[in-house]
Amino acid sequence: MKLEIKDNQKIFFTKSSSSIEIHPFWLRERLNEKEFLDKGTQQRLFDPSSMNSDIHIKKAKIVGEYLELEFNDGIFSKFNISKIKEELSDKDIVKNIIKMKWDSNLSNPKKFEYKEDFFETREMYDLLVSFYQFGFAIIKNVPTENNYIVKFANSIGSVRRTNFGEHFNVKSKSNPNDLAYTTLHLSPHTDNPYRNPVPCIQLLHCIENEVKGGFSTLVDGYTVTEDLKKEDPEAYKILSEVKVRFKFTDKNVVLEDCSELIHLNEYKEFKQVRFSPRLDYVPVLEKDKLDLYYKARKKLSDLYNSKKYRIEFKLIPKDLLMMDNYRILHGRTKFDPSEGKRFLQGCYIDFDSTEGKLRHLKRKLNI
Ligand SMILES: [Fe+2]
């Protein structure tokens, strides 16, 4: 990328053979001298939204690493060119991590090791990068006493509290309000599709696991839906267009939200999957359309439930599993409670926690 001055007062940047003029106001908004920018908070000390946008550059020159500009409102400022280039090249680490597709061949996912000061270390940075690549991460040796999961979550960002509490205990109980609290097999699903917004990341911490069954299962919703797009574009299309209603009811609350099973972004790319076939209600559409929808959902369900895409492993005490609930489906094999205890604790955090931590560690460790 190149930054250059034309006619003594226009700033252009050139990127892959196209040259674009940078609006003078865009630069004027980015004054960084101490009377314009608070150095501690990096927040502006002036309000550009209240300014007349008729701003132009009277004089411009490049001196070493700096672009020196004089604006028509009398302001003179020096801009660090590498900082401008960084913003223009959109080098945000979170947006630039490429998702890795995976299926059952991912036999030995990388594990991370908890230790003192873990949250400020290179190990934590590597964990977060891996989390954004694969959609999940496993951390070994995380202390289990005093609901440590909450401290763990709050050391990355903030716990997202729900009506299940700040954290929830996953063990079988009588009169459960969710099948998670039984000993039954749980087929692959995403959590809480009925919430708005859906919790972004689930943490599951193994406290005790003495049973022979009760294996954790994971499926990559990104891999499955990308494969579906290639193999059956018609099914993919209808599942990414029809909004279904997800609903949760118990004696204190009725939660509802509507979304496609495959939710795409504005560029028609993968954004989120929701799948919880005990809680979804498709609207009454024309019969032909519903024929297509039901066939497509069955196809998606078969893929999610097939061995081809599933990894299965046993969590042992002190293991903490962190999952992207917008991408990864999770489940569990059934277990026999007479064999011993099985006790997991869970909680949710939002993406701003992991994204914020990742950017912070990149800055701090100068990576
Ligand atoms: Fe779940």
Statement to judge: residues 38 and 142 lie in one domain: no
Q: What is the mean pLDDT of residues 324-340?
A: 92
- In the chain, how many domains are there? 2
Terminal-residue alpha carbon distance, the chain: 21
Q: Residue 176's pLDDT is what?
A: 65
Query: Is there a cis peptide before residue 337, judged by omega within 30 degrees of 0?
Result: no
- In the reported structure, the alpha carbon of residue 112 is separated from the centroid of ligand 1 by a whole-number distance in angstroms of 22
DSSP secondary structure string for all residues of 247-311: EEE-SS-EEEEEE-SEEE-TTS-EEEE---TTSEE-----HHHHHHHHHHHHHHHHHHHSGGGEE
Q: Residue 184's pLDDT is what?
A: 81
User: Between these two residues, 104 and 336, which has the higher pLDDT value?
Assistant: 104
Statement to judge: residues 227 and 336 lie in one domain: yes
Statement to judge: residues 74 and 123 lie in one domain: no
- In the reported structure, the alpha carbon of residue 241 is separated from the centroid of ligand 1 by a whole-number distance in angstroms of 25
- In the reported structure, the alpha carbon of residue 141 is separated from the centroid of ligand 1 by a whole-number distance in angstroms of 22
Q: Residue 36's beta-bridge partner residues?
A: none
- In the reported structure, the alpha carbon of residue 150 is separated from the centroid of ligand 1 by a whole-number distance in angstroms of 18
pLDDT digits (tens, 9 = 90+) for 296-317: 999 999 999 999 999 999 999 9
**How many of the other CB atoms lie within 10 Å of CB of 124?**
22
Which distant-in-sequence residues (6+ apart) come within 8 Å of 323 by Cβ?
135, 136, 201, 202, 203, 204, 218, 330
Q: What value does the mean pLDDT of the chain take? A: 94
- In the reported structure, the alpha carbon of residue 170 is separated from the centroid of ligand 1 by a whole-number distance in angstroms of 10
Statement to judge: residues 77 and 208 lie in one domain: no
pLDDT digits (tens, 9 = 90+) for 337-367: 888 888 999 999 999 999 999 999 999 999 8
174, 307 contact by CB (below 8 A): no
Closest CA to 285 of 274, 275, 296: 296
CA-atom Rg of the chain in angstroms: 25
Statement to judge: residues 108 and 74 lie in one domain: no
- In the reported structure, the alpha carbon of residue 151 is separated from the centroid of ligand 1 by a whole-number distance in angstroms of 21
Statement to judge: residues 25 and 115 lie in one domain: no
For residue 86, give its domain range.
2-90
Statement to judge: residues 147 and 81 lie in one domain: no
Q: For position 173, which CATH number holds?
A: 3.60.130.10
Instruction: Examine the fold and report which residue of 65, 90, 115 is the final residue of a domain before the chain moves on.
Output: 90
DSSP secondary structure string for all residues of 38-79: ETTTTEESS-GGGS-S---EEEEEEETTEEEEEETTS-EEEE
pLDDT digits (tens, 9 = 90+) for 167-224: 999 887 656 667 777 778 899 999 999 999 999 999 999 999 999 989 999 999 999 9
- In the reported structure, the alpha carbon of residue 330 is separated from the centroid of ligand 1 by a whole-number distance in angstroms of 6
Q: Residue 89's pLDDT is what?
A: 84
- In the reported structure, the alpha carbon of residue 276 is separated from the centroid of ligand 1 by a whole-number distance in angstroms of 9
User: Between these two residues, 175 and 118, which has the higher pLDDT value?
Assistant: 118
- In the reported structure, the alpha carbon of residue 204 is separated from the centroid of ligand 1 by a whole-number distance in angstroms of 10
Q: Residue 192's pLDDT is what?
A: 95
Instruction: Examine the fold and report which residue of 90, 113, 146 is the final residue of a domain before the chain moves on.
Output: 90
Instruction: Examine the fold and report which residue of 64, 90, 116 is the final residue of a domain before the chain moves on.
Output: 90
Q: Which helix (H) or strand (E) holds 351?
A: helix 351-365
Q: For position 77, which CATH number holds?
A: 3.30.2020.30
Q: Residue 174's pLDDT is what?
A: 59
Q: What is the mean pLDDT of residues 254-264?
A: 97
- In the reported structure, the alpha carbon of residue 331 is separated from the centroid of ligand 1 by a whole-number distance in angstroms of 7
- In the reported structure, the alpha carbon of residue 294 is separated from the centroid of ligand 1 by a whole-number distance in angstroms of 23
Q: What is the mean pLDDT of residues 284-290?
A: 97
Statement to judge: residues 100 and 147 lie in one domain: yes
- In the reported structure, the alpha carbon of residue 207 is separated from the centroid of ligand 1 by a whole-number distance in angstroms of 17
Q: Residue 183's pLDDT is what?
A: 77
- In the reported structure, the alpha carbon of residue 353 is separated from the centroid of ligand 1 by a whole-number distance in angstroms of 20
37, 48 contact by CB (below 8 A): no
- In the reported structure, the alpha carbon of residue 93 is separated from the centroid of ligand 1 by a whole-number distance in angstroms of 29
pLDDT at 23 over 90: yes
- In the reported structure, the alpha carbon of residue 367 is separated from the centroid of ligand 1 by a whole-number distance in angstroms of 35
- In the reported structure, the alpha carbon of residue 105 is separated from the centroid of ligand 1 by a whole-number distance in angstroms of 23
Statement to judge: residues 252 and 304 lie in one domain: yes
Q: What is the mean pLDDT of residues 236-250?
A: 96
- In the reported structure, the alpha carbon of residue 18 is separated from the centroid of ligand 1 by a whole-number distance in angstroms of 48
Statement to judge: residues 84 and 196 lie in one domain: no
pLDDT digits (tens, 9 = 90+) for 265-284: 999 999 999 999 989 999 99
- In the reported structure, the alpha carbon of residue 264 is separated from the centroid of ligand 1 by a whole-number distance in angstroms of 22
pLDDT digits (tens, 9 = 90+) for 125-163: 999 999 999 999 999 999 999 999 999 999 999 999 998
